């Protein structure tokens, strides 16, 4: 089963890198990206993706606001250049936190965590 993902980041560089790395994960199917948090907010409410990767530091609605609104309904992976956001993101219900700059294994491990959280099974059984 392929998972539907939304990625939100105001930086085109980080957005495209996260998309490329997530697309190489065997359990990720459709990916929709947004560089505007308000557009992503509308999309998430209407389309109900299976999980979200969101930058924390964005203008307007930041990633912590996303967590407050959606983490009880959707698994979240938060990203930031500031490691100190990790504790807050997890307290708000985030499944995992990935510090920038991130690697393929960082993103893949976080996606594995989301899968385990969603289905209660380790990913290694499905790769």
Rg over CA atoms, the chain: 13
Q: What is the pLDDT of residue 127?
A: 47
DSSP string for 7-52:
EE-S-HHHHHHHHHHHHTSTTEEEEEEESSHHHHHHHHHHH--SEE
List, in sequence order, every residue forming a beta bridge with 3; answer none if it has no partner.
28
Q: Which of 111, 109, 20, 9 is nearest to 66 (CA)?
A: 9
Which SS3 state, helix, strand or coil, does residue 71 take? coil
* pLDDT band, residue 14 (cuts 50/70/90): very high
Pairwise CA distance, residues 51 & 101, whole Å: 21
Q: Give the tens place of pLDDT for each residue, 86-126.
A: 999 999 999 999 999 999 999 999 999 999 999 998 876 44
36-102+112-127: CATH number: 3.40.50.2300
Pairwise CA distance, residues 41 & 21, whole Å: 22
Q: Give the tens place of pLDDT for each residue, 21-53.
A: 999 999 999 999 999 999 999 999 999 999 999
Can you give the residue ranges of every domain in the chain? 36-102+112-127
């Amino acid at each position: 089963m392929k998972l539907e993902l939304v990625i939100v980041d105001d930086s085109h560089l980080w957005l495209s890198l996260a998309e490329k790395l997530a697309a190489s994960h065997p359990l990720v199917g459709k990916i929709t990206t947004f560089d505007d948090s308000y557009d992503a907010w509308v999309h998430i409410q209407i389309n109900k993706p299976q999980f979200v990767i969101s930058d924390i530091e964005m203008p307007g609605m930041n990633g912590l606001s996303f967590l407050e609104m959606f983490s009880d309904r959707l698994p979240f992976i938060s990203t930031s250049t500031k490691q100190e956001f990790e504790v807050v993101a997890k307290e708000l219900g985030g499944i995992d936190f990935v510090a920038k700059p991130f690697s393929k294994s960082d993103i893949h491990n976080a996606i594995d965590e989301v899968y385990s959280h969603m289905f209660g099974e380790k990913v290694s059984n499905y790769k």
